[in-house]
């Protein structure tokens, strides 16, 4: 199960009492004796797009586990509005023989159940209710909506018909995300959703979230995504949750201003404290000043401390550069063709040059060949044709997700470094780790038990051990929080060698690179625009895709088929309405016959018993007609609404 609805273990609250979609009230939670949440409180209102930020290890993912009901709080409450539908991507991603389209469509369980019931329902009222509800949830446009979501997340029309088992874990995570978005839960929980996306997918997702009709609560360290997709920021620090209006940049400004004001108030308070303490010290022993001194003692006792932000220093990421610069180009492609089998090429006619001080960002959709190009640069992939020439003294440091996974999980960070520095002293090895923020608290921890960010720091230490001339970085920021990403940007800007980066983090690219290469259509070419230009182009492509005009003849054929399918879909509603109308007509004729009999002269005096029975029968027929007219009105409204939704009016 990769998309879930409201979990009954959470506390539900009526909308009249609980005005928020989600209300966290005095939440307290400890893990191994350490307090993660200390009476934390947060209200999430309907329609909010809320970004959750905070340092790695502060408890953001734990909060989501609490919201889902996977674990229970030690104290406090998590209240959700009654009947709310909660959606999230589970760890168990789809991997069966079902196609991507089938997998996504199945995520809307209400639609699937209604369609199944519609095939067997016989009661006209129930049929009307079913089809009205199907229209309300846009059930008849489901495939188009599912296809649009899958396309936005990088799947072609052909991909959408392939089984989930054909795709790697990262792509299946996208399928799970697509399924959850398609289900349109009332409250959407997303934990680092852009980690598995390229820039194009991240741009599509931010636009989708911005226009999403429900409420979204998103853990993210992607500054651009948080600036463009969310309406509010929740900052988790010191066990508390603090809410701010606006995107991430505005939150930073508010946080800085808040701390500046608090520091000013703290300074004034300290001045006041020193003045009061001086008065008490001077006059406490004097009888005529004793009461005044005692009054000032009470004021000191009641003086509330001013809260100031604690700025924990960010451990460094110290990337050593080469001792001497190599002559350029350090890497050269000459009419190079790249691929993994002789029959199929991924990239062709490559003529790129990488110089000793280049800062290059690779753009392009996943699957276009960015990682293929990176592997060719570092020498892991030989050319099918042409040449790749590297400087004979070139040292390269390569960072990628599979490199992190290749770190030996059974040995510590210190042991990894000891293997590289067998003749060094212990102090030298620990100093090496300290340069990457791995100190006494985690240097001896098994690599498998390190956090994602700590593993990334260890890999940075390992790949830069020989002071490389070129760093090739494939999504280096995925496991880093916002502050650590800022430290990585600083380190890369201080690094004197060449850098080639693949990343969906536009802020990282904008801050580090000065050249952009676009991988598209089997080629690698210079991109002269900015990242904002590229973002706008992707949004425009999405808009054009939705407005694609097909061939006129095909359009007519398609329209005829759609109209026929639409008439077929609403046929049960028409049948139900017409059946009720026929029943009303039959009863009306019976009532007319009774009226003729009741109109016979002297009936009530000559045959009083018959007159009473006829009157009773007429009253019963009137009652039945009234009931059927109500049902007919409901059925007619459902039929008219279905015609309108199907465009048949």
Query: Out of 164-168, 336-340, 550-554, 555-559, which region has the weakest mean confidence (pLDDT)?
Result: 550-554
Tell me the CA distances in angstroms from 447 to 437, 458, 466, 487, one per residue in order.
Answer: 14, 9, 21, 22
User: Is the confidence at residue 288, as pLDDT, over 70?
Assistant: no
| Distance between first and last Cα of the chain | 40
Q: Tokens in use for 262?
A: 């608090």
Spell out the alpha helix ranges (H) of 547-607.
552-598, 603-606
Instruction: Return d(Cα 224, Cα 37) in angstroms, integer.
Output: 28
Which tens digit of pLDDT belongs to each residue from 4-31?
444 433 454 543 344 688 999 999 999 8
Are the C-beta atoms of residues 83 and 10 closer than 8 Å to each other?
A: no
pLDDT of 15 reads: 39
Closest CA to 159 of 142, 178, 185: 178
What does the alpha-carbon distance between residue 164 and residue 151 come to, in Å, rounded to a whole number? 15
Q: What pLDDT is stored for residue 90 in this prediction?
A: 74
Distance CA 300, CA 272 (A): 9
CA distances for 307 relative to 253, 340, 347, angstroms: 18, 59, 57
Q: Which residues have a Cβ under 8 Å from the Cβ of 263 and sit 6 or more positions away?
A: 308
Of the pLDDT bands very low, low, confident and very high (cuts 50, 70, 90), residue 626 is confident
Q: How sure is the predictor about 264, in pLDDT bands with cuts at 50, 70 and 90?
A: low
**Rounded Cα–Cα distance for residues 67 and 87 (Å):** 11
Considering only CA atoms, which of 311, 320, 312, 313 is closest in space to residue 491?
A: 320
The answer to whether the CB of 294 falls within 8 A of the CB of 418 is no
Under a CB-based contact definition with an 8 Å cutoff, are residues 635 and 573 in contact? yes
**pLDDT value at residue 306:** 46
* Structure confidence at residue 341 (pLDDT): 82
Bigger pLDDT: 648 or 153? 153
Nearest-angstrom CA–CA distance, 568 and 429:
74
Return the closest-CA partner of residue 354 out of 255, 465, 468, 242: 468
- Report, as an integer, the average pLDDT of 196-212: 89
pLDDT, residue 539, reads: 81
Instruction: Give the orientation angle of helix 199-211 with respect to helix 142-152, to 10 degrees.
Output: 140
- Name residue, tokens 């004796």: 33
Q: Between β-strands 385-390 and 523-527, what pairing exists: parallel, antiparallel or unpaired?
A: unpaired
The C-alpha atoms of residue 67 and residue 24 are separated, in whole angstroms, by 9
Q: In whole angstroms, what is the distance from residue 472 CA to residue 514 CA? A: 15
Place 304 in a pLDDT band, splitting at 50, 70 and 90. Answer: low
The phi-psi region of residue 239 (left if phi > 0; otherwise alpha if psi is between -120 and 50; otherwise beta) is left
Higher-pLDDT residue of 56 and 189 is 189
- Tell me the two tokens of residue 258: 């808040």
CA dihedral 457, 459, 463, 466 (to 10 degrees): 60
What pLDDT score does 387 carry?
94
CA distances from 514 to 128, 435, 508, 509, 510 (A): 61, 27, 12, 9, 8
Cβ neighbours of residue 93 closer than 8 Å, sequence gap 6 or more:
2, 169, 172, 173, 175, 176
Residue 392 has pLDDT above 70, yes or no: yes
**Mean of pLDDT values over 606-626:** 86
- Model-level pTM? 0.70
> Is the model's pLDDT at 383 over the cut of 90?
yes
Reported as a single tens digit per residue, the pLDDT across 577-604 is 788 888 888 998 998 888 888 888 777 7
More confident residue, 271 or 501: 501
> Mean pLDDT, the chain, as a whole number?
82
- Residue 281, pLDDT score: 76
pLDDT surpasses 90 at 51: yes
Q: List, for residues 54-71, the tens digit of each pLDDT value.
A: 888 888 989 999 998 889
Name the more confident of 203 and 266: 203
pLDDT of residue 238 exceeding 60, the answer is yes
Would you say 43 and 13 are in contact if contact means Cβ atoms under 8 Å apart?
no
Q: Would you state the pLDDT for residue 1?
A: 39
- Is the pLDDT assigned to residue 255 strictly greater than 70? yes
Residue 517 pLDDT = 95
- Measured between alpha carbons, how far is 641 from 190 in angstroms, rounded to an integer? 35
- Residue showing tokens 């017409």: 578
- DSSP 8-state assignment for residue 329: P
Q: What is the DSSP letter of 545?
A: H
Buried b (16+ CB within 10 A) or exposed e, 552-563: eeeeeeeeeeee
The predicted pLDDT at position 293 comes to 62
Angle at 331 between CA 327 and CA 337, to 5 degrees: 155
DSSP 18: -
| CA–CA dist 366, 171 (Å, integer) | 9
Q: How many helices (H) and strands (E) does the chain have?
A: 21, 20
Chain-centroid distance of CA 625 in Å reads 54
The closest of 136, 111, 133, 131 to 121, measured between CA atoms, is 131
Percent of the chain with pLDDT over 90: 27
- Rounded to 5 degrees, what are φ and ψ at 78? -120, 110
| Residue-level pLDDT at 262 | 60
Tell me if the bond preceding 329 is cis, omega within 30° of 0.
yes
Output the pLDDT for position 29: 93
Parallel, antiparallel or unpaired: strands 523-527 and 515-520: antiparallel
pLDDT recorded at residue 373: 95
For the cut 90, the answer to whether the pLDDT of residue 329 exceeds it is yes
CA distances (Å), 166 to each of 169, 171, 179, 320, 367, in order?
A: 10, 10, 17, 41, 14
524-572 pLDDT tens trace: 999 988 888 888 888 887 776 655 434 445 445 545 655 666 676 667 7
Q: What is the mean pLDDT of residues 259-271?
A: 65
pLDDT at 269 (0 to 100): 63
Count of beta carbons in the 10 Å neighbourhood of residue 364: 22
Q: What is the pLDDT of residue 93?
A: 73
| Mean pLDDT of the region 70-93 | 86
Q: At 236, is the secondary structure helix, strand, or coil?
A: strand
pLDDT at 280 over 80: no
User: What number of other Cβ atoms are within 10 A of residue 358's Cβ?
Assistant: 20
Residue 507 tokens, joined = 């802020």
| The token pair that represents 569 in the structure block | 């879909």
Tell me how far apart the alpha carbons of residues 313 and 293 are, in angstroms, rounded to a whole number: 41
Average pLDDT over residues 333-351: 90
The whole-number average pLDDT for the span 637-642 is 71
């Amino acid at each position: 199960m990769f998309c879930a609805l409201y979990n009954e273990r959470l506390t539900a609250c009526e909308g009249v009492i609980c005005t928020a979609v989600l209300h966290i009230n005095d939440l307290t939670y400890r893990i191994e004796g350490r307090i993660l949440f200390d009476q934390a409180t947060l209200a999430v209102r309907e329609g909010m797009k809320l970004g959750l930020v905070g340092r790695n290890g502060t408890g953001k993912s734990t909060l989501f586990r609490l919201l889902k009901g996977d674990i229970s709080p030690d104290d406090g409450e998590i209240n959700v509005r009654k009947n709310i539908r909660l959606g999230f991507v589970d760890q168990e991603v789809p991997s069966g023989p079902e196609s991507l389209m089938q997998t996504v469509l199945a995520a809307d369980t209400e639609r699937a159940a209604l369609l199944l019931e519609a095939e067997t329902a016989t009661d006209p009222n129930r049929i009307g209710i079913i089809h009205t509800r199907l229209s309300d949830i846009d059930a008849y446009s489901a495939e188009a909506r599912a296809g649009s979501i899958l396309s936005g997340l990088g799947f072609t029309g052909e991909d959408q018909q392939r089984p989930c088992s054909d795709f790697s874990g990262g792509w299946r995570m996208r399928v799970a995300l697509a399924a959850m978005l398609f289900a349109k839960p009332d409250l959407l929980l997303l934990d680092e959703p852009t980690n598995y996306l390229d820039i194009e997918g991240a741009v599509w997702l931010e636009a989708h979230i911005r226009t999403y009709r429900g409420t979204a609560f998103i853990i993210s360290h992607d500054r651009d995504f948080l600036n463009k997709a969310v309406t509010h920021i929740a900052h988790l620090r010191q066990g508390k949750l603090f809410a701010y209006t606006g995107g991430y940049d505005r939150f930073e400004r508010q946080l800085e201003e808040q701390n500046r004001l608090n520091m000013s108030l703290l300074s004034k308070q300290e001045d006041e404290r020193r003045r009061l303490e001086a008065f008490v010290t001077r006059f406490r022993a004097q009888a005529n000043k004793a009461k005044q001194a005692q009054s000032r003692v009470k004021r000191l006792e009641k003086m509330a401390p001013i809260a100031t932000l604690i700025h924990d220093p960010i451990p460094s990421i110290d990337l050593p550069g080469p001792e001497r610069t190599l002559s350029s180009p350090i890497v050269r492609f000459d009419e190079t063709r790249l691929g993994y089998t002789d029959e199929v090429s991924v990239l062709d006619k490559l003529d790129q040059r990488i110089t000793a001080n280049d800062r290059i960002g690779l753009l392009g959709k996943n699957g276009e060949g960015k990682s293929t190009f990176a592997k060719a640069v570092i020498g892991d992939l030989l050319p099918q044709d042409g040449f790749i020439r590297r400087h004979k003294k070139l040292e390269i440091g390569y960072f990628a997700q599979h490199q992190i996974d290749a770190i030996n999980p059974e040995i510590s960070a210190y042991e990894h470094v000891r293997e590289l520095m067998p003749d060094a002293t212990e102090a030298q090895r620990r100093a090496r780790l300290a340069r990457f923020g791995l100190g006494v608290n985690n240097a001896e921890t098994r690599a498998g038990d390190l956090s994602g960010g700590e593993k990334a720091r260890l890999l940075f230490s390992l790949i830069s051990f020989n002071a490389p001339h070129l760093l090739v970085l494939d999504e280096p920021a995925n496991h880093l929080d916002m502050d650590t990403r800022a430290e990585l940007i600083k380190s890369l800007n201080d690094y004197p060698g060449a850098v080639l980066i693949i990343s969906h983090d536009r802020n990282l690219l904008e801050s580090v690179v000065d050249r952009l290469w676009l991988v598209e259509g089997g080629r690698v070419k210079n991109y002269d625009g900015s990242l904002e230009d590229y973002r706008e182009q992707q949004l425009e492509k999405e808009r054009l895709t939705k407005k694609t005009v097909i061939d006129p003849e095909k359009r007519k054929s398609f329209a005829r088929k759609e109209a026929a399918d639409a008439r077929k879909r609403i046929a049960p509603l028409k049948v139900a309405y017409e059946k009720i109308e026929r029943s009303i007509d039959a009863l009306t004729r019976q009532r007319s016959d009774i009226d003729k009999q009741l109109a016979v002269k002297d009936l009530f005096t000559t045959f009083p018993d018959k007159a009473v029975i006829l009157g009773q029968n007429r009253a019963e027929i009137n009652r039945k007609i009234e009931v059927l007219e109500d049902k007919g009105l409901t059925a007619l409204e459902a039929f008219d609404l279905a015609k309108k939704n199907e465009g048949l009016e």
